[in-house]
Amino acid sequence: MINSLFLINPSGEIFLEKHWKSVVSRSVCDYFLEAKEKALEPEDVPPVIHTPHHYLISIYRDKLFFLSVIQTEVPPLFVIEFLHRVAEMIQDYFGECSETVVKDHMVMVYELLEEMLDNGFPLATESNVLKEMIRPPTILRSVVNTLTGTSNVGDTLLTGQLSTIPWRRAGVRYTNNEAYFDVVEEIDAILDQSGRSSTDLSTGTTVQRSWKSDPEVKGQASGVCVCVCVVCKLCYDWLTGTTVFAEIQGVVEACVKLSGMPDLTLSFMNPRLLDDVSFHPCVRYKLWESERVLSFIPPDGNFTLMTYHVNAQNLVAIPVYVKQSISFFECGSDGRLDVTVGPKQTMGKTVEGVMVTVHLPKTILSINLTATQGSYTYDNGTKLLVWDIGKLNPQKLPNLRGSLSLQAGAPKPEENPSLNIDLKIQQLAISGLKVNRLDMFGEKYKPFKGVKYITKAGKFQVRT
Amino acid sequence: MTPMQKLLQLPVNAMNMVKTAQDQMGQQDEAKSPVMTPDGGNHNWYNGEPNDPRHIRFGSGGGDQEERAHLEEGGGSLSSLVTQPLRHDDLKEMLDSNKDSLKLEAMKRIVAMIARGKNASDLFPAVVKNVACKNIEVKKLVYVYLVRYAEEQQDLALLSISTFQRGLKDPNQLIRASALRVLSSIRVTIIVPIMMLAIKEAASDMSPYVRKTAAHAIPKLYSLDPEQKDCLIEVIEKLLADKTTLVAGSVVMAFEEVCPERIDLIHKNYRKLCNLLIDVEEWGQVVIINMLTRYARTQFLNPNMNESLLEEGGGEKAFYGSDNDDDTDDEEDKEEKEKKKTEATAIVKRKPYVMDPDHRLLLRNTKPLLQSRNAAVVMAVAQLYFHLAPKAEVGVIAKALVRLMRSHSEVQYVVLQNVATMSIKRRGMFEPYLKSFYIRSTDPTQIKVLKLEVLTNLANETNISTILREFQTYIKSNDKDFVAATIQAIGRCATNIGEVRDTCLNGLVQLLSNRDELVVAESVVVIKKLLQMQPEQHSDIIKHMAKLTDNIQVPMARASILWLIGEYCEHVPKIAPDVLRKMAKTFTNEEDIVKLQIINLAAKLYLTNSKQTKLLTQYVLNLAKYDQNYDIRDRARFIRQLIVPTDKSGALSKYAKKLFLALKPAPVLESPFKDRDHFQLGSLSHLLNAKAGGYQVLPDWPEAAPDPSVRNVEVITLLERVTTLTSVPEWTKCSSREKRKEKKADKPFYSDSEGESGPTESADSASDTASGSESGSGSEESGSGSESEESNEESESASEEDEEEEGKKKKKNVEKIKARKPVPESESEPSSGEDVKKSEKKSKPRIGSSESESEEDDDSESESSESEEEESEEESEEETKKKKKTTASKPPSKPPKKENKKEKKEMSLLDFDDFDPAPSPSQVTPLNNFLSSSLVTDLEGLSLTDNVLSPTTIIPSGNLKTYELLHRITGEGLSVEYCFSRQPFSPDPHMVAVKIQFTNSATSEAKSLHVEDAKLQSGMRIKEFPEIEVLPAGETISVVMGIDFCDSTQAANFQLCTHTRKFFVSIQPPVGELMMPIFMTENEFKKEQGQLMGMNEITEKLTLEEKCQGEHAVVQRVTTAANLSRVPCGSDKECRFAGKTVTSGSLVLVSVVTKEDGAAQLTVNCEKMVIGTMLVKDIHQALTQ
């Protein structure tokens, strides 16, 4: 299946290669590098590239390209998913996934890759199993290793014991038995300005009528007129925006450090909220289907227990509103920006970590803004304006305003940039999901249990 | 020489640096041997002659530089080989040393070199020597090295073979596996026979892990030597029959690579694969699902057969029609659909399609995998459903696919490609998720374009306005490629949906006044296409566009406008000549493409309106004649000859009008994803829209289904079941359990009827009629009468055999009752309430009657039902439907029994532990009817099953439940049952007394029965019963043993030994048996309860079942569920119970407060929260059922 893997840094240097079948020359990457040159952003590189003899499937993650070489038919998602698994594994082992980390632990990464695939087919991809074969580095161990000259390859390997559960290693022992669950919800939303309907294509008939009445002259004029008006209207529209699309995506992250073979059952107060779910393989599907409880023997350590999507029928509470106006004057190379953020439906919690990110048009020359709260940074190279507000104070709404100057002679930007909002609410799952209880069977000790809720903004965009 | 030796200890980098420096100094003492002999002696040779005069050969400047360049680059090319020995001397020395640490360090550096892509092949001899190294870490790295370079140095690689061969015989499974893995990875042709042998041997290895490795090795060997195919197929066939989940994925992978055409190998394993699927690891799931998709396409009939027959007709129509296939004009579409519907129903009537149960099995077993976290698995299931499921069921995959859209952008990319293809065929499926395809400004362009594609495919009359509004936003994007794509999408919407054509057109016309040229140009191009469809109605737009020629500078757009005007000059007779006039003026400055269109326009006008334009045309043609571009000159010459009648060109000019003003068909705007679904979705080929190497064509449905009986494996299944119970780890069995569960869920009818029907709940599979006889026994007051009638009707199918069995049963009953009677009497009811005793007596007769089914349980339940369940499952759905019609409430004979089984499995699942191979006897089989029913409740408490699924009534009884420890058949004639006698275990008060009853039903006597080799959870203890020396045939004997369960419901596992055999058995206590009654006064109780508040108190509200509303009933049910004693209480509204856990002596206090209308509140106070919660569930169950 997967023939070879190359790790490539953003500048195009291949710094690790691994072959599972016959060696494929690294010159095959040239096709990829060519495509990479063409793409404006690294994300724009096509994930699947067809070359005369090979297929290249790549992912871009943590500023690294993972490029796999395929020779025969294989489900592309299979490869993509595996590559992501590799990245996760590196992250899991070394804390982060970056070029330096991989270079520092070259041998270990290589060994991991050796274990993960056999002849191009995944062999061991569960972190728990891998960790039994190749022990992750710790500071203490690396010190010991340098002193004693041993390495991290597991020496327990030869016990001949294989865990019967592929995701859990055998013989786990902890002095403190703990199980923590983080329910993290993200709001994906697209907010829009209301009062935009006059430009709708769907209502174009009105325009057409006025047009037909006076076909020769006014038709054209009215068409233009409408557009101009709309721009004006938008400029001064202080409405808080309508929701085009909003949904809640959640994930239950678990950190389970329990001895032995615990069998956990996690139930929710209101499982009906969950519309669509996906599970870690340890969860018993059918039990969820019939009883809406998560019954599982957990892997050891950190893992994602489930991800879910909240029923779309439920209206999504949008915790903040954004009043904004970005306008450019038709004549003169000047524009104004005015953004206010305020709390909307926060369920009595404070909104923290509010951040507004704006990709300003390329024609902007400079900006001069003042923020009543927080601070803003502006990178003139990428035209990226980031306004870090922090905690939202309902009494005194944070505001950012000032002037934008355009390059001389540049035309007024076509589209106003959209705002990306970042926020965080502690101790709240915005969907109202609540964990009811966690029961443990199969072990005698009493575990310490904890649940934490966090709401975040996912892809939260305000169109202007 | 001496400095060199010092350097040997330096790391490679340092070496390089020094080396470079030396080079610069001109001290070229590198080895100059052009061909390295890869043995250790070589290095001595060159060290001995450091100043070899041959270095002069490299003295010339060019060579020197080249050399250094290679050094810096770190090798990798052949020529650098020459320089490497020097750099690797240190490594060789380290490898030759005796210290493992040095070896390890050297190997690490070598592997790092390999990882960086540097050539380390010259170290092969030095490395291969270490293959037999004792140090496991070194060994692993040597393996890594070997796998990488063995192919290049085949001869030397042979040196390592014997080590692997030795490894293949190692007692440790991991060593065997890794030896096989490396052996099969080194790609040396000469060892093919050795590999073949090793694979064959490993395929029958005891360890599933080694078998898995063998499966992995098969494709490796095949790629090395395809001639081994036949032998390999044999191995594959063997491994396909393997029953472990570990092997399944890998062997199917091997199957796909070696012999995907041998679909016949799958037949026998088909059902097994379907059933195992859910427990196979993710990657194996993908491969298996893809393979099964192909398999199903060859073996089953098209579930959409009736529709698709029509579809073909419809499809053809669309193909010849002007529009895209599914996006045909809506009215047409509707009509067509209606027609289809009526025809379809007609066909259905004619030839009812019945889905093959195996087909259904596949669909059902893959469905839960849509919930996988692995995108590839979800996609695989989605494509399976798309290709195999009846139209009505395909919809389930939409939600899962939409979920994947939140994943990484690469995943999105692939998923969207597939969704685009699906949305053409099955638009309705994704319509509810329209908004999920809305585009964000932060999406990468390729994703945006794909989303646009999907949105366009999804557009229909109802949602078009929303979609267009959304498109309107996109048009303002800064990403111009995306804007262009949006405009094209609008064009496609307009062609597909007639109603919005005008709207779109007008919208596009508005865009003509956009400031951005690209937008305008793209709009013009799209408008041109739209206008071509109905030009008459849009002369005003053409006029409007004519005016744009003044402003628009984009050549393509100008050309489009000119073409439009030329084409429809009749519609704009006034403007057209004027446009030509203007164009003539600017002709020289136009782009070539525009010039060509000006000539074109001139020609057309000349033909239609020669009066006004004759001179203009002449002028334009003259200008063109002297143009720099030869194309334009040619065109001008050609057109002049055509349109201007001269003597020479008489023949052609007659046809000029026909040539220029022919009716041109409107262009078809269609999705690039149309018809891509002939590739299997989710495949690379589908993504690329081209056949990738090794792609297996998805076959078409067969006309007639091949013989389905090839998949029948009854006998094997039965055996397999038995073995599964012992050999497969517990958790893998959840699939079968879940399957059963699902089946349950399919029959809501049964569970409803359970609600009404009291005593029959654990009747066995053959007891449809027995329920009648039971009611005849008269002990049950309610419900049974009506049931018996129905049951008579119902049981036609089973009744014949049953009657015989019944006869047998009755005989057995008599014996049974005799055997059993002493048990309830000998037992002391701890709570000593009069009422309890009374009710106990009352219930006694019924013990007998209910036992009428019990014996049958033993035999049939464990085996026959298991073997039957596979078949019955498929039928069950159809059956239930039929049954629903005939009987309003069928006595729920079968399902409850299944339920029991299910519960049992669940229980064993809970106490799963990883080293215990939990043999089948551990699955406690209820021995008699009423006992099992309360067992169900107990277990239910443990396993948290849904109430709906559980039986609703329990026969009130304070009796002991008996569980099976060893089945008669498994025990080869020896059957063992156990019960919790609820008596204090005298040798050790911290133990639970378990009464074990041996019955020897074999013909020979059993000797020396004893317990051995207890594998207990830490803390657990067993007090064995004294060895039974002889148990004569047909005799029964009871002993008591003590088990300290440590207050957990963990099973105690041990071996039960006879003189000939050992049986693995396990005893699992219900939570209620982990305690013993204590006596308390009311005040004490209150005091203790007060101390166990908060965390230790669990309260639950419940509604008492009707029959259970009296105080007696409550007391009795609670004491049945748990070994507690009653605490006196002043109020008759409240019942209190007290006890303590056997091991730790923690107090367990239970109180039930009844209110009006059967409402009640159950409070359990217990220091041990786990016990508390479990107990609440058990009691709750006992009271509400």
The span from the CA of B1175 to the CA of B938, in Å, is: 9
- pLDDT of residue B27 exceeding 70, the answer is no
Cβ–Cβ gap B1019/A444 under 8 Å: yes
- pLDDT of residue B1181 exceeding 60, the answer is yes
pLDDT band at A336 (very low <50, low <70, confident <90, very high): confident
Give me the total of CB pairs closer than 8 Å, taking one residue from chain A and one from chain B.
Answer: 368
| Least CB–CB distance from B151: residue in A1, A22, A157 | A22
pLDDT (0 to 100) of residue B1102:
81
Return the CATH superfamily for domain A178-185+246-315+430-462. Mu homology domain, subdomain B (2.60.40.1170)
- pLDDT of residue A464 exceeding 80, the answer is no
| Least CB–CB distance from B465: residue in A111, A202, A263 | A202
How many other CB atoms sit within 10 Å of the CB of residue B69?
Answer: 12
User: Where is average pLDDT lowest: A142-151, B179-188, B347-356?
Assistant: A142-151
* Percent of chain B residues past pLDDT 70, beyond the cut: 66
pLDDT (0 to 100) of residue B377:
92
What mean pLDDT is reported for chain B? 70
The span from the CA of A72 to the CA of B670, in Å, is: 30
How many other CB atoms sit within 10 Å of the CB of residue B416?
Answer: 24
Amino acid (1-letter code) at residue A437: R
pLDDT (0 to 100) of residue A364:
81
B443 or B1012, greater pLDDT:
B443
DSSP state of B78: H
- pLDDT of residue B686 exceeding 80, the answer is yes
pLDDT (0 to 100) of residue B824:
42
pLDDT (0 to 100) of residue B266:
87
Helices marked H in A95-217? 99-104, 106-116, 127-133, 139-148, 204-213
Amino acid (1-letter code) at residue A385: L
pLDDT (0 to 100) of residue A6:
92
A152 or B124, greater pLDDT:
B124
Assigned token pair, B831: 């709570």
- pLDDT of residue A68 exceeding 90, the answer is yes
pLDDT band at A459 (very low <50, low <70, confident <90, very high): confident
pLDDT band at B780 (very low <50, low <70, confident <90, very high): very low
The average pLDDT across B385-399 equals: 87
Under 8 Å CB-to-CB from B383, ≥6 apart: which residues? Answer: B290, B293, B418, B680, B681, B682, B683
pLDDT band at B647 (very low <50, low <70, confident <90, very high): low
Cβ–Cβ gap B140/A153 under 8 Å: yes
The average pLDDT across B974-991 equals: 80
The span from the CA of B1164 to the CA of B1096, in Å, is: 8
**What is the per-residue pLDDT across B524-550, written as a single tens digit (0 to 9) for each?**
888 888 877 776 677 777 887 787 777
The average pLDDT across B912-916 equals: 38
B782 or B359, greater pLDDT:
B359
**What is the per-residue pLDDT across A392-439, written as a single tens digit (0 to 9) for each?**
887 888 888 888 887 777 667 766 778 888 989 888 888 888 888 888
The span from the CA of A428 to the CA of A430, in Å, is: 6
Assigned token pair, A403: 């002037």
CA angle B809, B813, B818 (to 5 degrees): 155
Place of tokens 């891509």: B676
pLDDT (0 to 100) of residue A365:
82
Cβ–Cβ gap A414/B476 under 8 Å: yes
Residue B330 belongs to what H/E stretch?
A: helix B330-350
Assigned token pair, B33: 């041997």
CB B446 within 8 A of CB A48: no
CB A171 within 8 A of CB B736: no
The average pLDDT across B391-409 equals: 86
| Residue A173, min C-alpha distance to chain B (Å) | 13
pLDDT (0 to 100) of residue B649:
56
Q: Which 3 state secondary structure label does DSSP give B1154?
A: strand
pLDDT (0 to 100) of residue B723:
34
pLDDT band at B93 (very low <50, low <70, confident <90, very high): confident
CB A289 within 8 A of CB B745: yes
pLDDT (0 to 100) of residue B286:
92
Domain ranges of chain A: 2-156, 178-185+246-315+430-462
- pLDDT of residue B101 exceeding 60, the answer is yes
- pLDDT of residue B119 exceeding 70, the answer is yes
Amino acid (1-letter code) at residue B813: N
Count the alpha carbons within 13 Å of B1171 in the hemisphere toward its beta carbon.
31
Fold of A2-156: Beta-Lactamase (3.30.450)
Assigned token pair, B626: 């002297």
- Please report the residues numbered 72 through 101 in chain A whose beta carbons come closer than 8 angstroms to any beta carbon of chain B: 72-78, 80-82, 84
B26 or B407, greater pLDDT:
B407
User: Where is average pLDDT lowest: A138-152, A165-179, B413-427, B1110-1124?
Assistant: A138-152
Q: Does A52 touch chain B (CB under 8 A)?
A: no
- In order, the DSSP letters of A277-307 are EEE-TTB-HHHHHHH-EEEE-PPSEEEEEEE
pLDDT band at A314 (very low <50, low <70, confident <90, very high): low
Phi, then psi, of B889 in degrees rounded to 5? -145, 105
DSSP state of B1120: H
B199 or B740, greater pLDDT:
B199
pLDDT band at B721 (very low <50, low <70, confident <90, very high): very low
pLDDT (0 to 100) of residue B1065:
81
**What is the per-residue pLDDT across B794-843, written as a single tens digit (0 to 9) for each?**
444 444 444 444 444 444 444 444 444 444 444 444 444 444 444 444 44
Assigned token pair, A43: 């994300």
- pLDDT of residue B699 exceeding 70, the answer is yes
The span from the CA of A461 to the CA of A160, in Å, is: 54
pLDDT band at A65 (very low <50, low <70, confident <90, very high): very high
**What is the per-residue pLDDT across A7-25, written as a single tens digit (0 to 9) for each?**
999 888 898 999 988 888 8
CB A325 within 8 A of CB A236: yes
Q: Which 3 state secondary structure label does DSSP give A158?
A: helix
**What is the per-residue pLDDT across B129-140, written as a single tens digit (0 to 9) for each?**
888 787 778 888
pLDDT (0 to 100) of residue A312:
61
A345 or B886, greater pLDDT:
A345
pLDDT band at A164 (very low <50, low <70, confident <90, very high): low
CB B858 within 8 A of CB B900: no
Q: Does B516 touch chain A (CB under 8 A)?
A: yes
pLDDT (0 to 100) of residue B948:
34
Q: Does B695 touch chain A (CB under 8 A)?
A: yes
**What is the per-residue pLDDT across B585-635, written as a single tens digit (0 to 9) for each?**
888 888 888 888 888 888 888 888 878 888 888 888 888 888 888 888 998
- pLDDT of residue B760 exceeding 50, the answer is no
Q: What residues of A are in contact with residue B944 (Cβ under 8 Å)?
A: 265, 267, 291, 293, 295, 439
**Can you list the positions of beta strands (E) in A298-379?**
301-310, 320-328, 334-343, 352-359, 364-371, 375-379
- Please report the residues numbered 1008 through 1067 in chain B whose beta carbons come closer than 8 angstroms to any beta carbon of chain A: 1017, 1019, 1046-1050
pLDDT (0 to 100) of residue A330:
65
CB A298 within 8 A of CB A168: yes
User: Where is average pLDDT lowest: A232-241, A395-404, B556-565?
Assistant: A232-241
CA angle B119, B121, B126 (to 5 degrees): 130
Cβ–Cβ gap A110/B915 under 8 Å: no
* Percent of chain A residues past pLDDT 90, beyond the cut: 10
CB B511 within 8 A of CB B490: no
B518 or A280, greater pLDDT:
A280
The span from the CA of B470 to the CA of B490, in Å, is: 11
Phi, then psi, of B842 in degrees rounded to 5? -55, -45
Q: Is the ipTM of this complex over 0.90?
A: no
Assigned token pair, B344: 């379809």
CB B287 within 8 A of CB B253: yes
User: Which of A304, A314, A245 shows the shortest CA–CA distance to A274?
Assistant: A314
Q: Closest-CA residue in chain A for B108?
A: A107
| Residue B749, min C-alpha distance to chain A (Å) | 16
The average pLDDT across A242-253 equals: 83
The average pLDDT across B638-643 equals: 82
* Percent of chain B residues past pLDDT 90, beyond the cut: 3
* Percent of chain A residues past pLDDT 70, beyond the cut: 80
pLDDT (0 to 100) of residue B797:
42
Q: Do A2-156 and A178-185+246-315+430-462 have matching folds?
A: no
Q: Does A330 touch chain B (CB under 8 A)?
A: no
Cα-Cα-Cα-Cα dihedral sign, residues A379, A383, A384, A387: positive
| Least CB–CB distance from B101: residue in A106, A149, A287 | A149
- pLDDT of residue A152 exceeding 90, the answer is no
pLDDT (0 to 100) of residue A83:
92
- pLDDT of residue A72 exceeding 80, the answer is yes
The average pLDDT across A133-145 equals: 66
Highest mean pLDDT among A369-383, B499-513, B1019-1033: A369-383
pTM for the model stands at: 0.63
pLDDT (0 to 100) of residue B10:
40
- In order, the DSSP letters of B801-870 are HHHHHHHHHHHHHHHHHHHHTHHHHHSPPTT--HHHHHHHHHHHHHHHHHHHHHHHIIIIIIIIHHHHHH
Q: What residues of A are in contact with residue B500 (Cβ under 8 Å)?
A: 202
Residue B1140 belongs to what H/E stretch?
A: strand B1134-1141
Amino acid (1-letter code) at residue B5: Q
pLDDT (0 to 100) of residue B118:
85
User: Where is average pLDDT lowest: A135-149, B375-389, B448-462, B831-845?
Assistant: B831-845
The average pLDDT across B77-104 equals: 67
Residue B962 belongs to what H/E stretch?
A: strand B962-966
**What is the per-residue pLDDT across B302-351, written as a single tens digit (0 to 9) for each?**
887 766 544 443 333 333 333 333 433 444 444 444 554 454 444 444 45
| Least CB–CB distance from A227: residue in B410, B441, B513 | B513
**β-pair partners for A117:** A122
The span from the CA of B626 to the CA of B587, in Å, is: 12
Question: Mutate which of A29, A45, A81, A306 to disrupt the B interface (most B C-beta within 10 Å)?
Answer: A81
User: Where is average pLDDT lowest: A138-142, B473-477, B933-937, B957-961?
Assistant: B933-937
Radius of gyration of chain A (CA): 27
pLDDT (0 to 100) of residue A84:
92
Q: Closest-CA residue in chain B for A61?
A: B408
Q: What residues of A are in contact with residue B441 (Cβ under 8 Å)?
A: 359, 417-418, 461, 463
Q: What residues of A are in contact with residue B744 (Cβ under 8 Å)?
A: 290
B1026 or B67, greater pLDDT:
B1026
